[in-house]
């Protein structure tokens, strides 16, 4: 009987991609006139999704990958980490839209 191999989990990658996608949508809502320009909630949620959640997922992927390397039957998926690294860097740019909107809204209060 052969040993089955354990592959790296896709969970952090999927969560990271979903969070940046949602954050981009939330950043676009005021420009599409789908929410008011003073809607603080969408900006706060968008900021929490990026970069907070995306960097958390990047770190979680790194943790899972390095923990798995101690197992002899573990198949590392380095591409997940590479994609998450790009997503994390892009999330900084997306977060700037949310931070800018939060600053604008708070400056009006």
Residue 2 within a domain: no
Count of domains observed in the chain:
1
Give the residue numbers spanning the domain of 72. 8-108
Residue 1 within a domain: no
pLDDT at 1 over 70: no
| DSSP of 70-82 | TSTTEE--HHHHH
Our CA dihedral for 92, 97, 98, 101, rounded to 10 degrees, sits at: 150
Summarize pLDDT for 62-97 with one digit per residue, the tens. 988 888 777 777 788 889 999 999 999 999 999 999
Q: What is the pLDDT of residue 70?
A: 75
Residue 3 within a domain: no
* 31 — pLDDT class (breaks 50, 70, 90): confident
Summarize pLDDT for 42-63 with one digit per residue, the tens. 888 998 888 899 999 999 999 8
Q: What is the DSSP letter of 109?
A: -
pLDDT at 29 over 60: yes
Q: Model pTM greater than 0.85?
A: no
Residue 36 within a domain: yes
Residue 69 within a domain: yes
Residue 39 within a domain: yes
Contacts of 62 (CB under 8 A, 6+ apart): 81
SS3 6: strand
């Amino acid at each position: 009987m052969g040993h089955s191999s354990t592959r790296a989990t896709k969970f952090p990658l999927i969560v990271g991609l979903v969070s940046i996608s949602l954050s981009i949508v939330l950043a676009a809502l005021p420009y599409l006139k789908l929410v008011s320009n003073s809607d603080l909630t969408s900006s706060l949620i968008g900021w929490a999704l990026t970069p907070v959640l995306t960097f958390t997922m990047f770190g979680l992927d790194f943790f899972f990958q390095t923990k798995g390397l101690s197992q002899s039957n573990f198949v590392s998926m380095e591409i997940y980490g590479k994609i998450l690294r790009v997503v994390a860097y892009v999330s900084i740019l997306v977060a700037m839209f949310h931070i800018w909107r939060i600053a604008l809204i708070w400056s009006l209060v």
